[in-house]
Amino acid sequence: MNIQEILEKHKKWRRDEEGGKRANLRSANLRSANLRSADLRSADLTGADLTDADLTGADLTGADLTGASLRDA
């Protein structure tokens, strides 16, 4: 599953819609990913590598970023 599919299912999960699923990006390689304006509220980003990721306007409220690398993000 690609990141866009994960984000779409996460959006549905946040809205309590059918087919929704919380984003599990635990230990994901998201280096240099374009996550502009992504809704990552309550997502699991434990141990994710977000080095150089574009998080401009992204909402990370309540996201688990334990051990995540946010260098130059």
Q: What is the mean pLDDT of each run of 10 residues along the chain (73 residues)?
A: 93 96 97 97 98 98 98 95
pLDDT at 5: 96
pLDDT at 54: 98
Write out the DSSP string of 23-43.
-B-TT-B-TT-B-TT-B-TT-
d(CA 73, CA 52) in angstroms, rounded, equals: 4
pLDDT at 33: 96
64 to 19, 35, 43, 55: CA distances (angstroms)? 22, 16, 6, 15
Say what the pTM is. Answer: 0.90
d(CA 38, CA 48) in angstroms, rounded, equals: 15
pLDDT at 45: 98
pLDDT at 41: 97
